[in-house]
Amino acid sequence: MIPVRFLRPVFTGLLLSASAEVAAALTLAEAVRRVEQRNPQIAQRMAEREAATTRIDGARLAPNPELRIGVEDALGSGDYHAFDAAELTVALVQVIEPRARRSARVQVAEAGVVIETTALEAQYWQLLAETHRRYALALIRTGRLALAEEANANAQRLLAATERRVRAAAAPVAELERARVAAARADLDREDQEHELASARVSLAALWQGEDDYGALAGDALRLPPMRPLSDWQAALATSPRLRRYAAERALLKAEHAATTAERTRSWQLEGGVRHYRGNGDVALVAGLSLPLRLSDPQAPRLAEADAKLRAAEAGEAGAMAEARAEIFSLYQELNHGTLHLTRLKEAVLPASERALAATEDAVARGRYGAWEWLQARNDWLAARKEMLDDAELLHTTLAELERVSGLALFTAPKDSTEVLP
């Protein structure tokens, strides 16, 4: 199972907030749950960690004894013809391994488990960020399709009105052709948005090896809880899965260094058994002790190599930390810019376009404007809403990347469920 500490409240409120009417719709939390249970990359990493865990049991095992059977003074000539004077020796040989060597092997195996665990956590966090990004993209493209359908309906209304005016000789035929072009373009845009939404939904379902059969999506891509400050995200880097892997690699290198050092400790080999003398039928005990001679130090080059790798890992960790901090800062600036742009659209551009649309509709009702002025005002209003969705896509893409880099839940719980972007 995925560590419980990953299941943070961010999942239940990230894209906010499913209402009672969409209780059956797919939420981000449910999408994450499906990814946890069915994503093959997580399953692969979990299997690799399980394999690494089994190596600990192997490292704890002592060397097995050996059974040696030897025959001497046989198949010769004279008194040693055939097996007349053969000596048969049966002995057990046991390597006496120093405890330090076995302990060092266990430490290496345990460090390998930590490596696989951090790799699993990093994989999980990357998939969490990707789930957020694809979910938001599918949600945003749903909104774009709705806008395209509305624009298409407006163009069809304009076309119908223009046809009536041309038949009544109140407008030239050229105006009818312009209306037909506008309707055709609006219909093409609607089809484009349908295709993009279908691709986004299939891409989301692919994360849990599913199909586009999950119905509607819950939430509003424009509603986000308050975010944590930049300092929180940068401080979280030290414990992020991305950078903890460097610490785990350093621990593995240190364990391998200790194991290489422990190999300098000699292993003894004890031998004991019985020998049978066929010539006179006597039996005697045999025993032996083997101790390797150390004429050179084969571990010295390996220790020097381990020291160099450790220094390289430390330098790599420092470089990765600096790059990650710079990346978070850049993403934070992009997030601020996107938030500011979205806020101005929401507070200035959209209300102005709504007022312009209302005024245009009033002027059309009084006969001062025609249908084309109404369509332009309507399209300006739709364009402002579409631009807000574009900003939302940029924001969610940036937030998903911040999740991946920092390994931190990027949001605090909202004080008010109605709270939106400032």
Phi/psi at 61 (5° precision)? -75, 140
Helix axes 371-406, 173-206, angle to 10 degrees: 20
Residue 212: CB partners within 8 Å, gap ≥ 6? 198, 201, 202, 205
Residue 422: inside a domain, yes or no?
no
Contact 175, 162 (CB under 8 A): yes
Asked if 141 and 197 touch (Cβ cutoff 8 Å), the reply is: yes
Domain membership flag for residue 414: no
**H-helix or E-strand containing 90?**
strand 87-96
Model confidence at 416: pLDDT above 50: no
Cβ contacts of 200 within 8 Å, gap of 6 or more? 134, 137, 138, 141
Residue 282 sits in a domain whose CATH number is 1.20.1600.10
Q: What pTM, to 2 d.p., does this model score?
A: 0.78
In a domain, 74, yes or no: yes
DSSP 256-322: HHHHHHHTTSPPEEEEEEEEEETTTTEEEEEEEEE----SS-THHHHHHHHHHHHHHHHHHHHHHHH
Cα–Cα distance measured from residue 124 to residue 135, given in angstroms and rounded to the nearest whole number: 16
DSSP structure string for 114-156: HHHHHHHHHHHHHHHHHHHHHHHHHHHHHHHHHHHHHHHHHHH
Please state the rounded mean pLDDT for residues 303-307: 86
CA angle 98, 104, 109 (to 5 degrees): 135
pLDDT confidence of residue 147: 93
Per-residue model confidence (pLDDT) at position 365: 78
Residue range 272-290, pLDDT digits in tens: 899 888 878 888 888 888 8
* Residue found under tokens 């979910």: 135
Is the pLDDT reported for residue 178 higher than 80? yes
Task: Determine phi and psi for 111, rounding to 5 degrees.
Answer: -65, -35
Is residue 419 situated within a structural domain?
A: no
pLDDT of 138 reads 94
Kindly give, in sequence order, each residue whose CB lies less than 8 Å from that of residue 179, ignoring residues fewer than 6 positions away.
155, 158, 159, 162, 163
Token reading at 318:
């420092």
Residue 101 falls inside a structural domain: yes
Question: Residue with structure tokens 């025993």?
Answer: 287
Domain count within the chain: 1
In a domain, 412, yes or no: no
Q: Give the three-class secondary structure for 174.
A: helix
Q: Assign residue 19 a region: left if phi > 0, alpha if psi is -120 to 50, beta otherwise?
A: beta
Task: Return the DSSP state at 413.
Answer: P
Strands 87-96 and 66-72: antiparallel
123: which 2 tokens? 């994989």
* 107-151 per-position pLDDT tens digit: 999 999 999 999 998 888 889 889 989 999 999 999 999 999 999
Amino acid of residue 215: G
Residues paired with 178 in a beta bridge: none
Distance CA 22, CA 372 (A): 37
CB atoms within 10 A of CB 210: 15
Candidates 182, 44, 45, 58; CA nearest to 108 is 58
| pLDDT tens profile 4-58 | 333 333 333 344 343 434 447 898 889 989 998 999 999 999 999 999 999 999 8
Q: 163 by DSSP, 3-state: which?
A: helix
- Domain range for 314 is 4-406
| Number of other CB atoms surrounding residue 332 within 10 Å | 17
Q: Does 418 fall in a domain?
A: no
Of 119, 355, 350, the closest CA to residue 244 belongs to: 119
The more confidently predicted of residues 84 and 315 is 315
Question: What value, to the nearest 5°, has the Cα angle with vertex 383 and ends 380 and 389?
Answer: 155
Residue 39: CB atoms within 10 A of its CB come to 20
How would residue 355 be classed by pLDDT, with cut points 50, 70 and 90? Answer: very high
Separation of alpha carbons 66 and 74, rounded Å: 24
pLDDT at residue number 387: 93
Tell me if 54 is assigned to some domain. Answer: yes
Distances 299 to 95, 113, 265, 402, 420 between C-alpha atoms, Å: 20, 25, 11, 44, 63
